[in-house]
């Protein structure tokens, strides 16, 4: 039985195509991760100065929502009612609480899952600013005006 020889250039061509295909999928996954706003939020949180990790939730005894800007309360009311960001706003992404500045568990011992919301309408080409609203699936809500360095409890 005669053995068929594959020409050397065909072997190189196969390896080249295989490398291109693998590179394409690796790059595609990397780009989709870095374009994911939740991923960007994680990165920006991880890059915070170590001193911010020592900060804790501040001003936890607000009696009424009037202690916060009106627009924060409006976004919170909308998010609470519809479970989505208002039209033209960015939000609803998972907030991982990596620095553990917010409570990790509810009073009943359940893990709290958080979402983050912009409090200003998104304007294309402009920075989104430092203000955010963070809501927990336990009904809690926090406001930050320094991009997650500290939080003020709303409810």
| The residue to which tokens 């915070």 are assigned | 48
Rounded (5°) CA angle 102-67-91: 50
Contact 117, 133 (CB under 8 A): yes
Contact 94, 115 (CB under 8 A): yes
Give the per-residue pLDDT at 14: 87
Give the per-residue pLDDT at 19: 82
Structure tokens at 77: 């009311």
Give the per-residue pLDDT at 44: 41
Residue 149 has pLDDT above 50, yes or no: yes
8 Rama class: left (phi>0) / alpha (psi -120 to 50) / beta: alpha
Give the per-residue pLDDT at 64: 55
Pick from 78, 83, 152: nearest CA to 115:
83
Integer distance in angstroms from the first to the last C-alpha of the chain? 81
Distance, in Å, from the CA atom of 138 to the CA atom of 128, rounded to the nearest integer, reads: 27
Distance, in Å, from the CA atom of 145 to the CA atom of 77, rounded to the nearest integer, reads: 18
Distance, in Å, from the CA atom of 118 to the CA atom of 121, rounded to the nearest integer, reads: 7
Distance, in Å, from the CA atom of 127 to the CA atom of 124, rounded to the nearest integer, reads: 8
Structure tokens at 96: 């991982």
Position 13 confidence tier, pLDDT thresholds 50, 70, 90: confident
Q: Which comes out higher in pLDDT, residue 23 or 94?
A: 94
DSSP SS3 for 146: coil
Residue 73 has pLDDT above 80, yes or no: yes
């Amino acid at each position: 039985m005669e053995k068929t020889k594959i020409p050397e250039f065909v072997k190189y061509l196969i390896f080249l195509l295989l490398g291109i295909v693998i590179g394409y999928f690796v790059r595609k996954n990397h780009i989709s991760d870095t374009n994911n706003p939740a991923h960007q939020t994680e990165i920006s949180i991880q890059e915070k100065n170590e001193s911010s990790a020592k900060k804790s939730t501040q001003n936890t005894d607000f009696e009424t929502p009037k202690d916060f800007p009106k627009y924060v309360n409006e976004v919170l009311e909308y998010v609470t009612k519809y479970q989505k960001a208002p039209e033209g706003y960015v939000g609803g992404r998972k907030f991982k609480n990596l620095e553990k500045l917010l409570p990790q568990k509810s009073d009943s011992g359940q893990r709290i899952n958080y979402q983050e919301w912009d409090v200003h309408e998104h304007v294309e080409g402009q920075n989104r600013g430092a203000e955010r609203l963070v809501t927990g699936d336990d009904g809690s809500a926090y406001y930050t005006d320094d991009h997650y360095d500290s939080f003020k409890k709303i409810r």
